[in-house]
Amino acid sequence: MKTRKLGKNGLEVSAIGLGCMGLNFSYGNPMEKKDAIALLRAAFEQGVTLFDTAEVYGPYTNEEIVGEALAPFRKDVVIATKFGFNIRNGKMAGVNSKPAHIREVVEGSLKRLNTEVIDLLYQHRVDPNVPIEDVAGTVKELIAEGKVKHFGLSEAGVQTIRKAHTVQPLTALQSEYSLWTRKPEEEIIPALEELEIGFVPFSPLGRGFLTGKISAGTKFESHDFRSSNPRFQPEALKANQALVSLLDKVAAEKGTTTAQIALGWLLAQKPWITPIQGTTKLTRLQENIGAAEVELTAADLEEIEAAASKIKIAGDRYPEASEKMTGL
């Protein structure tokens, strides 16, 4: 697979990474551990080198699966994980980026990932009660101690990014970005380009919607977080089908799949963007990886932009309580 570089220090990763959350957290029933490990190893064999996890995915179990699966090729992959939440009774319980807590989380992650160093450590969500300079300073110390290689933020706003970057240069920002979530284009992407920070979009396929496999009649299990997500309510799904129809049209013209066009569009935006797609199926994994070979011409991109600009996306991307935890 083609590779890309994130940040000034040139962290090299596969053009398409793998978000591991959905293996056992948030999206319906968890995979059997052996099947999840097999999928992760298949991803590596097909060129994926960026694997994204977090302590809260499970909690804890996702990191354990990633650590075990990637142990045979640890030196050949980039593992990203995250700190920033309290965990109580097995659930997220508010944000916490106090320096002592960051250190506690890192020690736990190192053990679960069965590694001596975390390649890319993100603050999962901004903690309004802890100055971002203190957070960045703590990660700077962890880097000096050899426990972390690179620093990143997730769902942070421009001012937070700038403040953190002055203390410890950021390698990457992770936030949602796709054809149905384009807010980062307003301020975030220009700032990242100025500061030479890489961008790792999560949910590049709109949590499955941009694959064309979800309709207004799709039902989600109660433990699938999309069941309470405003954009996945029947009315919003019906209204947003116009975007899928656009991708279907371009895919037919290019001889690719709808999902590959959605991912290919992201890759065409900037050379320092590496989306992390997530799946539990080998066939979908292979399809998504194939997007790295999709070539969208300037005319293709203009066609997509002209049509997409006329489509108003219905529904908020998170329930109100979750949206308040983002810095965008």
Would you name the residues annotated as active-site residues? Answer: 57
**Cβ atoms of residues 294 and 26 within 8 Å:** no
- Assign 165 to helix, strand or coil: helix
d(CA 174, CA 25): 18
How is residue 127 written in tokens? Answer: 């903690």
Give Dmax over CA atoms of the chain in angstroms.
54
Q: Which string of b and e fits 42-55 if b means at least 16 CB within 10 Å?
A: ebbeeebbbbbbbb
Q: Which string of b and e fits 231-267 if b means at least 16 CB within 10 Å?
A: bbbeebbebbbebbebbeebbeebebbbbbbbbbbbb
Alpha helices in 116-233 (DSSP H): 132-144, 158-167, 188-195
How is residue 162 written in tokens? Answer: 């700038």
